[in-house]
Amino acid sequence: MKKMIVASTSTLHGQKPLAYLNEELTAFFKGIEQILFIPYARPNGISHDQYTGSVASALLNIGKLVGIHEFNDPIDAIKKAQAIYVGGGNTFLLVKTLHDLDLFTPLRESIEKGTPYLGTSAGSNICGLSMQTSNDMPIVYPSSFNTLGTLPFNINPHYQDPDPDSTFMGETRETRIKEYLTQNETPVIGLREGSWLDIKHEKITLRGPFSARIFKKKQPPYELASNALLDFI
């Protein structure tokens, strides 16, 4: 019953928020009057109200947005939501807040029953089995790294390829993901900017103009072409 868009980012360079997904989201949220927004990741430390307001403006022509923090009972808000959008920011903060408020179970149940779910960046990170392939700083300490598990792999949003001409001596994304796989079994999908996963029921399709980088334990990374199915995971 799942109906999800899991995107690497909300905003492409030089564009307004969610502009590159406008056509997709118009169809995705068709018939939806109100979208429940979860702003707990708080990018740049902005308030829940500020974050919700900025996203509401971006989705003005698609649907009315209301922040979950405006409800007295966030669990009930999730259960009654027509559609849900979890935005980006700091994944550690998002995961800690969702665990503290006991929201992972109702969120998972809503997704499984077919409530449309949009996730970008941190909101995409939490769709995997754990948040351990996040790029974010651990600014808070969640009670668990476990997340929704609505996808059978982990995601690395904003995936960037190594630059052969760079003099940067720190770890690349590829190096960090390979390091993760020395200690864990879960495959990782590197989602480049402008790419997203289209999930209908159990069918997962890569969308957007770019391929994705696939990482599996004890295997060389490889590319998955746009519009390909991820049924091999």
**Residue closest to 55 by CA, chosen among 38, 75, 30, 78:** 38
d(CA 57, CA 16): 10
Chain Cα centroid distance, residue 47: 20
CB neighbours (10 Å) of residue 232?
A: 9
Catalytic: which of 8, 110, 121, 134?
A: 121
Contact 91, 118 (CB under 8 A): no
**Residue closest to 130 by CA, chosen among 104, 161, 167, 102:** 104
Catalytic: which of 48, 158, 211, 226?
A: 158
Strands 3-7 and 196-200: antiparallel
Contact 185, 177 (CB under 8 A): no
- For residue 118, the surrounding DSSP H or E stretch is strand 117-120
Known catalytic residue: 136? yes
Known catalytic residue: 121? yes
- Report CA torsion sign: 163, 166, 172, 178: positive
CB neighbours (10 Å) of residue 70?
A: 13
Q: Of how many residues is the chain composed?
A: 233
- Angle among Cα 35, 40, 43 to the nearest 5 degrees reads 105
Catalytic: which of 134, 136, 195, 198?
A: 136
Q: Which residues are catalytic?
A: 121, 136, 158
